[in-house]
Amino acid sequence: MDKLAFVFSGQGDQYPGMGKALALQYPSAADIYTMCDTIRPGTTSQCWEGNEEELKETKNTQPCLFAMELAAASVLRNKGLTPAAVAGFSLGELVAATVAGVFDPQTGFRLVCKRGELMQRAAEKYDTAMAAVVKLTAQQVQTLCDNYPQIYPVNFNCPGQITVSGLASQMPAFSAAVRAAGGRAIPLKVKGAFHSPFMRDAAEAFAQELKKTDLKRPGIPLYSNITARPYTDDIAGLLSKQICSPVQWEETIRNMLAEGISTFVEIGPGKTLTNIIQKINPDAHALSVTEYLAEETVC
């Protein structure tokens, strides 16, 4: 039987004005923004009126994306769309966990605010950067990284696309090595070496935060960035360790496909995950939340 999954995007697709049209059209989305403003005043105005540089700051990006994504998910669920499983890329995993019932929306938002602050603090300790390497295999990227001890492969997105994190000072030489090997390194719109050892302090501090939180077992399968499989136990451990561990996204999608998921709705401001899923398996039906709502309106 065909099954549908919600997949929640991570940092990089944010843009000024994201979610505004959704909130103006759907009261359930507006309610999420109101809730977020109660906990973190100014979140809505930051989403809708903040400039690109402001939204690049991790302490701002993560709460704003969480608000937009949870608002969009609330619209879909109010329309009767129930996912058979959920997954989220990096910070998107916290939205997915909220939708799966691991914690309530208020707790999820408080946690993502703390996560963003901790990761920004860790990022500010070093001059770091991230880049998407395309046209090379995972093994080729790993071999190149072995020559640069502070550059790490961190996001295994899809065949021919691996994201790396590391010291900004080493990125030009690494990028040149990528070009020499026949690939291309594309800088990402983030500030920090996420999912690498540079984030270990943030992961440890976030683990302490999770210890104070009442975590429930997911009500639907929630796939982990680290294991690429549904959570069973150690929810706090996996949610904290993913901050400084690679995201196994390609394996996650392949495992979801093997479990009968055939349609993926990307919930976020862009189409990054939609494009990645179609590269993993061209037969999968992947579309963004904007496309889904447009299709429904036409129907």
pLDDT of the residue at 145: 97
From the candidates 9, 74, 165, 195, which is the catalytic residue? Answer: 195
CA distance 255 to 202: 29
| pLDDT over 50 at 290, yes or no | yes
CB 129 within 8 A of CB 193: yes
Q: What's the fold here for domain 3-122+196-298?
A: Malonyl-Coenzyme A Acyl Carrier Protein; domain 2 (3.40.366)
Secondary structure (3-state) at 129: strand
Per-residue pLDDT tens digits for 35-84: 999 999 999 999 999 999 999 899 999 999 999 999 999 999 999 999 99
Catalytic residue, from 9, 90, 175, 240: name it. Answer: 90
Report pTM.
Answer: 0.94
How confident is the model over 264-273, as pLDDT tens digits? Answer: 999 999 999 9
Location of each CATH 3.40.366.10 domain in the chain: 3-122+196-298
Catalytic status, residue 196: no
Q: Hey, is 219 helix, strand or coil? A: coil
Q: What is the DSSP letter of 128?
A: E
> CB atoms < 10 A from the CB of 201, how many?
16
Q: Any idea what DSSP says for residue 216?
A: -
Whether residue 20 is predicted with pLDDT greater than 80 in this model: the reply is yes
Q: How many residues does the chain have?
A: 299
Q: Contact, 228 vs 251, CB < 8 A?
A: yes
**Choice among 99-103, 178-182, 231-235 with the minimum mean pLDDT:** 231-235
**Burial status of residue 46 (CB atoms within 10 A of its CB: 0-12, 13-18, 19 or more):** buried
Active-site residue, 285 included = no
Give the CA distances from residue 50 to residues 38, 112, 265, in Å, rounded to whole numbers and listed in that order. Answer: 18, 19, 26
pLDDT at position 299, please? 41
Question: What is the architecture, at CATH level 2, of domain 128-187?
Answer: 2-Layer Sandwich (3.30)
According to the model, what pLDDT value does residue 233 have? 86
**CA 267 centroid distance within chain:** 10
- Structure confidence by residue, pLDDT tens digits, 205-219: 999 999 999 999 999
The band of 296, judged by pLDDT with boundaries at 50, 70 and 90, is low
Give the pLDDT of residue 175: 97
Q: Out of 39-43, 90-94, 190-194, 229-233, which region has the weakest mean confidence (pLDDT)?
A: 190-194
pLDDT grade for 2, boundaries at 50, 70 and 90: confident
User: CA nearest 91: which of 132, 50, 120?
Assistant: 120
Q: List where CATH 3.30.70.250 sits in the chain.
A: 128-187
The overall average pLDDT reported for the chain is 95
Q: What is the pLDDT of residue 298?
A: 42
DSSP string, 258-283: HTTEEEEEEESSSSHHHHHHHHH-TT
Angle at 50 between CA 73 and CA 72, to 5 degrees: 5
